[in-house]
Amino acid sequence: MDIDLLVVGSGFFGLTIAERAASAGRKVTVIDRRNHIGGNAYSEKEPETGIEVHRYGAHLFHTSNESVWEYVNRFTKFTNYVHRVYSTHNGQVFALPVNLHTINQFFGAAFTPDQARALVKEQAGEFDVATAQNFYEKGVALVGRPLFEAFFAHYTAKQWQTSPEQLSGDIVSRLPVRYNYDNRYFNDTYEGLPKDGYTAWLERMADHPNITVSLGTDFFDESQPLHQGAVVGQLPVVYTGPVDRYFDFTEGFLSWRTLDFEQEILPVGDFQGTPVMNYPDADVPFTRIHEFKHFHPERKDIFSGDKTVIMREFSRFAERDDEPYYPVNTSADRVGLLAYRDLAKGEKDVFFGGRLGTYQYLDMHMAIGSALSMWNNQLS
């Protein structure tokens, strides 16, 4: 085999490794079981409207890491998009994250920061964070019952399909509340969306004479030449698929949440006036609605068209065949993960990375940053 490195998975982690290795003169093959590159960051034009749709959920790029920012700018320009999210509760629209505007609208008041802080502190006195018995009590202990019930309790219950009293308090350590009018969602130094889309960016990373990409190719499919049994021990492998699958689930199935997306094209120019509207109430089955054209107001002709694409997002526990999106991280999962980490150490020349390979939620900039570190510290 004329290959120096096999990369399993063409998401940001795998492509960063492949690009670095190729630029250092190595011959790299990237395989992915899906029929497109890019992992969950992949996006495509909805054919009827030309609107860029993020197939695996809306992806917003943001980072404070200088070397990651420098690196990603080699492959794409970024727009000056700034992410903001609103929330429709009880037939009224509020700004998120919960901030002084949200609090004043919610209580029909004109509190100063100190007054709002004092009110929330008093309401939070109902429970103590240290002794809270479940997510419900902990949430009330953090932000008080009124704000918790309006913006967090049912939203989180819908994300987990579990009542707030049955959820563990461990799923939160804090809840975001700001005592000023700042409603920027992220507070990183750099933020923006890739000017000509995620897929163009991802394709540019793979566009190198030393990189071969093979799509529709599963690492565990023994009928394809670069399968696990044929390559492990023969050449270095960077594996970004699920770590439990690599070891055939011998230490148990690590649990994930998944999302279901319902996409719709509507004959209106503008459905909701903003990219993301949350629905935190119990009587609405979905958690939020994305309206993709609002991610790119600078695409003037597409933006002003008389159709729009929306996507309702539903959340639930993943079955084995569902896309794994967010690690659940129960205590059983943590035990299983430690066992898999031990097994992984014993795999000669196999490097586990990315969100699936390490069972961690990673933002894009974190996946890229950790791939750059793996390249610099272990592979180069």
135 binds, among Na ion, ligand FAD, none (CB under 5 to 8 A by kind): none
Residues 46, 291 contacting (CB under 8 angstroms)? no
For residue 194, is the peptide bond before it cis, meaning its omega torsion is within 30 degrees of 0?
Answer: no
364 binds, among ligand FAD, Na ion, none (CB under 5 to 8 A by kind): ligand FAD
Q: Which of 178, 245, 299, 355 is catalytic?
A: 178
Q: Which is nearer to ligand FAD, 54 or 138 (CB)?
A: 54
Residues 239, 347 contacting (CB under 8 angstroms)? no
Candidate residues 17, 18, 32, 150; the one interacting with ligand FAD per rule CB under 6 A? 32
What phi and psi, each to the nearest 5 degrees, are found at residue 141? -65, -25
124 binds, among Na ion, ligand FAD, none (CB under 5 to 8 A by kind): Na ion
Please give the C-alpha separations between residue 209 and each of 19, 23, 143, 237, 294, in angstroms, as whole numbers.
Answer: 10, 9, 54, 19, 36
The pairs formed by 248-253 with CB atoms below 8 angstroms and a separation of 24 or more are: 250/343, 251/336, 251/339, 251/340, 251/343, 252/332, 252/336, 253/320, 253/336
Q: Which is nearer to Na ion, 37 or 141 (CB)?
A: 141
Q: Measure the CA–CA gap between 223 and 218, rounded to whole angstroms.
A: 9
Q: Which is nearer to Na ion, 129 or 318 (CB)?
A: 129
Q: Which is nearer to Na ion, 137 or 244 (CB)?
A: 137
Q: Which is nearer to ligand FAD, 95 or 259 (CB)?
A: 259
Say whether 245 is catalytic.
no
Write out the binding residues for ligand FAD, residues 351-380 only, by CB under 6 A.
Answer: 354-356, 362-365, 367
Say whether 288 is catalytic.
yes
Beta-bridge partner residues of 282: none
How many CB atoms are located within 10 Å of the residue 62 CB? 20
Largest CA distance in the chain: 70
Say whether 184 is catalytic.
no
CA dihedral 246, 323, 85, 165 (to 10 degrees): -90
Q: Which of 20, 55, 288, 355 is catalytic?
A: 288
Q: Measure the CA–CA gap between 233 and 87, rounded to whole angstroms.
A: 52
220 counts as binding ligand FAD under rule CB under 6 A: yes
Candidate residues 164, 197, 236, 241; the one interacting with ligand FAD per rule CB under 6 A? 241
Q: Which is nearer to ligand FAD, 103 or 371 (CB)?
A: 371
Residue 169 beta carbon to Na ion: minimum distance, rounded to whole angstroms? 12
Q: Is 261 helix (H, G, I), strand (E, B) or coil?
A: strand
Say whether 361 is catalytic.
yes
What single-letter DSSP state applies at residue 194? Answer: B
Q: Which of 19, 244, 291, 313 is catalytic?
A: 313
**Number of residue whose CB is nearest ligand FAD:** 39
Pairing of strands 61-63, 190-192: antiparallel
72 counts as binding ligand FAD under rule CB under 6 A: no
Candidate residues 6, 7, 11, 142; the one interacting with ligand FAD per rule CB under 6 A? 11
| Segment interacting with ligand FAD, rule: CB under 6 A, options 12-20, 288-296, 314-322, 342-350 | 12-20
287 counts as binding ligand FAD under rule CB under 6 A: no
Q: Which of 70, 174, 248, 321 is catalytic?
A: 174
Angle between the 113-124 and 100-107 helix axes, to the nearest 10 degrees? 70
**221 to 240: interface string for ligand FAD, x by CB under 6 A:** -------------------x
Q: Which of 33, 34, 257, 312 is catalytic?
A: 257
Residues that bind Na ion (CB under 5 A): 124, 141
Residues 292, 53 contacting (CB under 8 angstroms)? yes
Q: Is 28 helix (H, G, I), strand (E, B) or coil?
A: strand
Q: How many residues bind ligand FAD (CB under 6 A)?
A: 34
Contact positions vs ligand FAD (CB under 6 A):
8-14, 31-34, 39-41, 56-57, 59-61, 218-220, 240-241, 259, 325, 354-356, 362-365, 367
Catalytic residues, which ones? 174, 178, 257, 288, 313, 361, 363
